[in-house]
Structure 1
Amino acid sequence: MPIPPELPIPLPPSSDYHKQSYEVPGTKRPGQTGHYRSTAFPFLTLDNPTGFTNLVEFFDSGRKHVPGDHPMLGKRPVVGKNPLKYADYYEWWTWDAVDVRRRYVGSAVHKLFEDRVIGGPLRAVGIYSGNSPGTARVLIVAGVFSRLSAAWMLVDLATHAYDLVSVPLYDTLGKDTVEFIINHTDMPLIFVTSQHIPKLLKISSKIPTLKIIVAMEPLELESKTILAAWGEQVGVKIMDLPELEEFGKANIKPVIYPNPDTIATICYTSGTTGQPKGVVLTHGNLASACYAQLHGLNFKEVPICMAFLPLAHCYGRMAVIGTIGRGGSLGFWSNDPLLLLEDIKILRPTMLPAVPRVLNRIYQAGTLAAKMPGVKGALFRHALQVKLDRLHTTGVQTHAFWDRLVFKKARSAPMSTAAIDFLKVATNADIMEENVGSATRVWPFDATASGTVGPPHPNTEIKLVDVPAMGYTAEDKPRPRGELCIRSDACFRYYYKDEANTKAAIDEEGWQHTGDVGEIDETS
């Protein structure tokens, strides 16, 4: 694959911040707007790619950007158990180490399918764990250092490279939902945290396709012996990750490069309104999404990404895949909201994928300073207003004097318009909002972007469709309003074994109807 000369792909100098998208001529129809595309880049499809068409290529790209000993997956080790205490540094697996181990894991599972020890139409592999050490307290007592976050990524990278379909399961799912997903995908093998092994063995009669459970951390001999005996009674083999890797090392196979239509993963919805739906994503879908996300980012350094969003969620995974494509480092949080800011301070990330709820909490904590009585409160309010005025008039969010005097602590941590503006001037970080995972994103250092989700990515078309029941139409003045619809090679193909919900979400022209209401502002 030809690696683009520069990753990420910066916003062209000629980009017009006053016209960030354009309406494709001849596409407007009654009851909807025309189709909008980005003005900054040529329209990107998998038929005329300039970058990536599968996920394996992202790993190859990362390896070409950094040396083999560059840090790749890291977390803070546990240094005390009573009370629980984490080190003030990150411990890392290098790119070389991850490359070798993903080949061992992938080769092992591929061999099991090849020899028909396990089967299934999808070659589905489950990952039932949080991307953080949820079992840390148990493991500390056993004297074992938990690496579950790195192991989650290791397994996922192995599935990318060996024609396997990863099926992530949220760590908090109830047994009925876990049972449904395993049966729905005919899953024969699942990677789990050790705490989930008894749960699965108890329901083994209800999940007959499951034949192998792999613990994502080394099992103590006594525990492994007991669990293996229990598993033998119900027809399920119990292994741990080191054992599986040894098997893969003895049966090593070359990496497989899938075509864009090959299924990469099935991500299940929460199931809060009925049975969960399986969102089918191909290698082409995710490659298109992650490559598009690398457009319009004006930084040169190799990224350090704080990974605290669930990797079972598409947005969290796209963020880390994009980081990998640039040869970046992924630092995982300590699985404690009270330690998140401390994790950030120690890691010093250059990228922080987050959701509004988290950023709004930081905003709420920060604005308490503005309510302080006396000189400190007055000083903070004045400094904040100076920086906000500068942001709104010039787009510049730094200030040499007030940054040093007032906002120094806020920057070591790294939604409303007010929250975004506050975070920009308090942290000196550019806050770039996105929508629908990878459909739109604001341009860097856009002074007018707060409260918007920006123009389409270069691989995406958007349009608004009338919602008469709510009074929203494409003819509304001064801004068209309606249901946001998107069309892109990044859009999911279908819901697995669910034709009815697929037809409700994706129309015959390939438009995904999001259910979100939006409006097109003057910069579009």
Structure 2
Amino acid sequence: MLRAGAERGTVAAYARRDGARWVTTSWAEYASQVRVAAKGLMALGVQPGMPVCIFGTNQPEWTIFDVAAMAVGAVPAGIYPTNTTEECVYVINHSQAPAILVQNRERLGRILAKRDEMPALRHIVLMDEDRGDAPGILTWDEFLAGGREVPDASLQARLDALGPRDGATLLYTSGTTGMPKAVLLPHEALTYMAVTLIDLIPMTPADRVISYLPLSHIAEQIPTVITPAVGGHLIYYEPDIKRLAETIKDVRPTVFFAVPRVWEKFYAGAGDVVNKVTGLKRTIVGRAFAAGRQYVDAIGRGERPGGWLRLRHRLFDRLVYSNARNKMGLDKARHLFSAAAPLSPAIIDFFAGLGMQVLNIYGQSECTGLCSFNRPGRNRIGSVGPALPGVELKIAGDGEILTRGPNNLLGYMKDPAATAAALDEEGFLHTGDIGYLDDDGFLFITDRKKDIIITAGGENVTPSLIETDLKKSPLITDAVVIGDERPYLTALISLDAEAVAQLGLDAAGVRAAVAAAVEETNRGLAPVRQVKRFTILEQPLSIERGELTPTVKVKRKAVREHFAAEIDAMYE
């Protein structure tokens, strides 16, 4: 990354919002900021192997501090902005971090309120300049000023001492049960991922990427922190996910990464527009969707679409596709990816109908974010693609997906038992996911091993397949299927308030619409796998209440506990 700064010079590395405009910073300045911040950490006494923490939303300082820590041999650990104070204290104490970068006074107040409980924490750096009357806190500028006093040769000695198997970063998993485990990744895993991904999906300084998912998660670190060193793409920082739709239209990203929840929002909005079209326009849209699917399918197989299909695609691009992409702000996007959880094949198929190829990524923190993904020329809808080059995939006897490669973790910090359970003697990571490989090496995910429901009748049920199908309804934001040791399956349903408002439905209308969605899903299922009863929750599942992870995955155990009364009522 530091070499890239010298080579790219005045080329823009990142952009941040300043009122109504975006202000860019060059690669040369970015590299200089990292060098000074690295020396700032040395001035604070941070030694190789020491963890340091970062607590805040997506801003350039987050990445600068993160890369600076790696440069001096320290191990950065992000804390999710949505973490409770208890979870923050846990991460700081578990990592024994002597220093933390905190975003603003609100988050600073939470740290200071518990400072007596964190004996290892000696230094707090504040991104904001206004520290109020809090004593012993360094502003960002004061932190950098300390770094300018450290000789460049001292930093170079740290850089020269780095080894490929040294710990590079700590990822505190946003697990769906219990306190998080600390995934320790080596430098060679990050280097492998940067080089491999840019080789498969070439990116240049002309590309634009929005950084908006939590930087504590590997899914956002890959495009924002890891791959820019090789690709050089311009990062636009969006700290407020509520402004994402506006930012997409403003930035017009050329490569866009999203979690399924974001794609589901796009799908609901575009689907609503499509469903309102009538007459001749509906006929044109129908033919456009058919041509779009054929075109994307051919591209996914690595084939050149036939002349007649290319002609129809160009025509429908002018009439339909370009308008839809333009309204979403994705008209300049060359590559579209879905990560962190499976995206419904029906939704992928819908976007294919608009000539948009959304590519599924599969992986987890333990394998540096991904071990397989669909890419242009090798895409199979419903799958999560073939393995990365140099990565092995195999299926265990019980259906669990195992993976081995240079992207695997070193282990879980301070948890040898968990490490031994995750990494077997042959070096394969046991993912905890159930799936299968087809004859062409494409991986298909069916469920989490621990999430499989065994009913009172002994039937094994994969809840995620049912839940994904239910969420095809624009009304349904989340669906959680229940049925372990129960006589039949039920579901907890949370609604999309915007969709309900747009449709103008009253309570009875909403229940009827959800019932219709459940009935539609049940049509394709065997009787023992059908949802017999459902409950509509009064409010959506929440990250703040611990029902969702920061990447919007359902925490099933928490949901079952929070809604135990509602669940029991469906079995009375």
* TM-score above 0.5, yes or no: yes
**1:60 corresponds to:** 3
Q: Is the 8 A contact 1:307 1:352 kept in 2?
A: no
Deviations 1:427-466 (A, max 9, x none): x5542222112201223144x5111111111121111001
1:418 is aligned to 346
2 CA distance for matches of 1:334 and 1:361? 19
The residue number in structure 2 matching 1:49 is none
Larger displacement relative to structure 2 (306-315 or 398-407)? 398-407
CA contact (8 A) 2:11 2:27 kept: yes
Letter in 2 for 1:352: F
For 2:187 and 2:51, locate their aligned partners in 1 and report how far apart those are by CA, in whole Å.
Answer: 15
1:283 Cα offset (Å): 0.8
Question: Which residue of 103, 109, 112 corresponds with 1:201?
Answer: 112
Counterpart of 1:76 in structure 2 is 17
Show the counterpart of 1:451.
Answer: 382
Q: Is the 8 A contact 1:370 1:378 kept in 2?
A: no
Which residue number in structure 2 is paired with residue 176 of structure 1?
86
2:236 aligned residue (318, 331, 342)? 331
Q: In structure 1, the residue corresponding to 2:53 is in which secondary structure?
A: strand
Q: Is the 8 A contact 1:103 1:252 kept in 2?
A: no
Distance in 1 of aligned mates of 2:213 and 2:405: 24
Per-residue CA deviation, residues 482-514 of structure 1 (Å, 9 max, x unaligned), is 211001111111111011111111111111000
Provide runs of 4+ in structure 1 moved above 6 Å.
Answer: none
User: Which has the larger displacement, 356-365 or 202-211?
Assistant: 356-365
Equivalent position SS for 2:76: strand
1:126 is matched with 53
Contact 1:442–1:453 (8 Å) recurs in 2: yes
CA distance in 1: counterparts of 2:168 and 2:220, whole angstroms: 15
CA gap 1:110/1:129 in 2 versus in 1, 3 angstroms = same
Matched, 1:187 2:116: no
- Tell me the equivalent position of 2:183: 279
Q: Percent identity?
A: 28
Which amino acid in the other structure matches residue 180 of structure 1?
Y
Task: Give the SS at the match of 1:455.
Answer: coil
Post-superposition shift, 1:393?
Answer: 4.5
Mapped to 2, the partners of 1:440 and 1:317 lie a distance apart of: 17
Query: 1:214-235 CA distances to partner (integer Å, 9 max, x unpaired)?
Result: 101212xxx44x111xxxxxxx
CA distance in 1, matches of 2:360, 2:228: 17
Please tell me the residue identity of whatever aligns with 1:518.
G
Q: 2:24 is matched with which residue? A: 92
How far did 1:394 drift?
5.6
Specify the SS of the correspondent of 2:81. coil
Give the counterpart letter for 2:73 in structure 1: D
Partner secondary structure for residue 353 of structure 1: strand
Which structure has greater helix proportion?
2
Check whether the contact 1:122–1:185 (CA below 8 A) recurs between aligned residues.
no
Contact 2:204 2:232 in 1 (8 A): no
TM-score by length of 2: 0.67
Aligned partners of 1:391 and 1:275: how far apart in 2?
42
Q: Which runs of 5+ in 2 are unaligned?
A: 331-342, 364-368, 442-572
In structure 2, how many angstroms separate the alpha carbons of the residues matched to 1:252 and 1:409? 55
Aligned partner (choices 261, 266, 271) of residue 367 of structure 1: 271
- Post-superposition offset of 1:212: 1.0
Tell me which residue corresponds to 1:106. Answer: 38
Q: Tell me, in whole angstroms, the C-alpha distance in 2 between the residues paired with 1:123 and 1:420.
A: 43
- Name the aligned partner's letter for residue 60 of structure 1: R
- Name the structure 1 match of 2:221: 317
Partner amino acid, structure 2, of 1:77: D
**Counterparts in 2 of 1:198 and 1:304: CA distance versus 1, 3 Å:** same
Aligned mates of 1:301, 1:157 — CA distance in 2: 19
RMSD over aligned Cα, in angstroms?
Answer: 2.2
Change (3 A) 1:269 1:393: closer
Question: How many angstroms apart in 2 are the aligned matches of 1:418 and 1:276?
Answer: 33
CA distance in 2, matches of 1:500, 1:491: 17
Given that 1:442 and 1:454 are in contact with CA atoms closer than 8 Å, whether structure 2 keeps it comes out as yes
1:250 paired residue among 126, 146, 149: 149
User: Is this contact kept in 2: 1:63–1:327, CA < 8 A?
Assistant: no
Tell me which residue corresponds to 2:395: 464
Q: Say if 1:106 and 1:159, in contact at 8 Å, map to a contact too.
A: yes
Q: Distance in 2 between matches of 1:507 and 1:240?
A: 45
CA distance in 2: counterparts of 1:178 and 1:442, whole angstroms? 35
Count the aligned residue pairs. Answer: 405
**Matches of 2:166 and 2:298, distance apart in 1:** 48
Cα shift at 1:112: 2.0
Between 288-297 and 299-308, the greater mean CA deviation after superposition: 299-308
- Could you tell me which amino acid in structure 2 is paired with residue 150 of structure 1? P
Cα deviation, 1:167-198, whole Å, max 9, x if unaligned, reads 11001111111111111111111000122111
Question: 2:198 corresponds to which residue?
Answer: 294
Partners of 1:163 and 1:91 lie apart in 2 by 31
- Return the TM-score normalized by structure 1: 0.73
Stretch deviating more after TM superposition (452-461 or 429-438): 429-438
Shift of 1:425: 4.6
Instruction: Give 5+ residue unaligned stretches, structure 1.
Output: 1-57, 79-86, 132-148, 229-236, 468-481
CA gap of 1:177–1:72, structure 2 versus 1, over 3 A, is: same
Partner of 1:48: none
Alpha-carbon distance between aligned partners in 2 of 1:298 and 1:445, rounded to the nearest angstrom: 14
1:405 aligns with 2:316: no
Q: CA deviation at 1:299?
A: 6.2
Q: Distance in 2 between matches of 1:59 and 1:366?
A: 42
1:339-358 correspondence to structure 2 within 5 Å: 339-358=243-262
Distance in 2 separating the partners of 1:269 and 1:351: 26
How far apart in 1 are the matches of 2:234 and 2:110?
34
8 A contact 2:205–2:233 mirrored in 1? no
Question: 1:368-409 CA distances to partner (integer Å, 9 max, x unpaired)?
Answer: 222114234443223212222333356559722211121223
CA distance in 1 between counterparts of 2:83 and 2:13 reads 29
1:346 deviation in Å? 1.7
Question: For the Cα contact (< 8 Å) 2:128–2:139, is it kept in 1?
Answer: yes
Q: Distance in 2 between matches of 1:77 and 1:60?
A: 28
Separation in 1, partners of 2:40, 2:299:
56
Aligned twin of 1:259: 163
Counterpart of 1:423, as a letter, is F
Rounded to whole Å, the distance in 2 between the matches of 1:271 and 1:392 is 35
Task: Kindly indicate whether the alpha-carbon contact (under 8 Å) linking 2:205 and 2:234 is maintained by their aligned counterparts in 1.
Answer: no
Aligned twin of 2:140 = 241
> Which secondary structure does the structure 2 equivalent of 1:250 belong to?
coil
